[in-house]
Amino acid sequence: MEQKKLGPSDLDVPSICLGGNVYGWTLSEADTLHQLDHALDVGLNFIDTADVYSRWVPGHQGGESETLIGKWFANTGRRKEVILATKVGISMGEGKKGLSARYIAEAVDASLGRLQTDYIDLYQAHEDDPETSLEETLGAFNKLVKAGKVRFIGASNYKGARLAEAIETSRKNGLASYVSLQPHYNLVERQPFESDLLPVVEKYGLGVIPYFSLASGFLTGKYTRGSEPSASARGGMVKKYFNDHGFAVVDALVEIAKKHRSTPARVALAWLMDQPGITAPIASATNDRQFEDLAASTTLELDQDDIRRLCEVSAPVAA
């Protein structure tokens, strides 16, 4: 499987990142452990999670995904084979949120405990914290890098100007700097990444690991004109794509997939991997068929006509 540099670092990652948001949520413990075994067997060793996964589920406290990954590390002894990314900053309840130096120090130790490891390869600010200065946040991350608890740091859900300011702050103060960005980006939601974030990514050479790469399942071809989204949380998330623009994208994916004897999901991921700045799309799988789509997308080669058609049909519609 092709390896890429994650921004200005020596961290080589495969061209797909396995999303751990489903672990302990829509994927059971047994199926999670099975998937992690299978993932390494096919070369998918880049895993993204967050401390807050999956606090939104009734009865969950957050940390469920990290805990299952940690259990798998303890059971298998394969920690060193994995490139592990997790995130900090979104509320864990009881005032546990944000990017203050105090909270980052507390949260990283909690994550390390759940993950049953002594280091995190990529520790990411899950969202910007406008109430904390960049100097304080980056200074806290810098201490973690110096202590060996974290190898590299990244940003998620930042706006372009703030991301550039953060990188310049690191340079000015000699602090660890963000090497990657995790934005919302896919075929049916190309803005604001392309207009606001891509120029910053290209200027500073950041790696990009977009989330919602398959638009919560909309780009897999499971939905057609006339169908209704399910009553699940994911069904509610895809409803906004149920329009002429969204289904025109799906129609193109289906046709191109037939041409390559592939699937719409594989085509959507292959398009994303071909876009400027993209390092490794994040995608989750809740069954073996979906998992095979993730793995197979890394070897699907779209021709220029395919790329051009998808770019044209998915071009953002003027407001």
Q: What domains sit in the chain, N to C, each tagged with a CATH number?
A: 3-215+264-302 (3.20.20.100)
Q: Which pLDDT belongs to residue 2?
A: 78
**125-156 confidence digits (pLDDT tens):** 999 999 999 999 999 999 999 999 999 999 99
CA 217 remoteness from chain centre: 15
Say if residues 4 and 280 touch (Cβ distance below 8 Å): yes
pTM: 0.96
Side-chain half-sphere exposure of 257, counting CA atoms within 13 A: 20
Contacts of 57 (CB under 8 A, 6+ apart): 25, 64
Q: Which pLDDT belongs to residue 200?
A: 98
Q: Check residue 239 and report its DSSP letter.
A: G
Q: Which pLDDT belongs to residue 225?
A: 85
**78-107 confidence digits (pLDDT tens):** 999 999 999 999 999 999 999 999 999 999
Q: Which pLDDT belongs to residue 236?
A: 67
Q: Which pLDDT belongs to residue 234?
A: 57
Write down the catalytic residue from 23, 53, 158, 211: 53
Tell me whether residue 241 is one of the annotated catalytic residues.
Answer: no
Token pair recorded at residue 210: 């977009």
Q: Which pLDDT belongs to residue 9?
A: 93
Say if residues 310 and 271 touch (Cβ distance below 8 Å): yes
Q: What CA–CA distance (Å, rounded) separates 143 from 124?
A: 14
Say if residues 5 and 46 touch (Cβ distance below 8 Å): no
- Strands annotated E in 75-225: 83-88, 120-125, 150-156, 178-182, 207-208
Token pair recorded at residue 284: 């989750």
Q: Which pLDDT belongs to residue 319?
A: 55
Residue 274: which of 54, 79, 15 has the closest Cα? 15
Token pair recorded at residue 189: 């939601």
**Which residues of the chain fall below pLDDT 70?**
230-236, 318-319
Q: Which pLDDT belongs to residue 318?
A: 64
Say if residues 89 and 125 touch (Cβ distance below 8 Å): yes
Instruction: Provide the 3-class DSSP secondary structure of residue 194.
Output: helix
Element (H, E) at 186: none
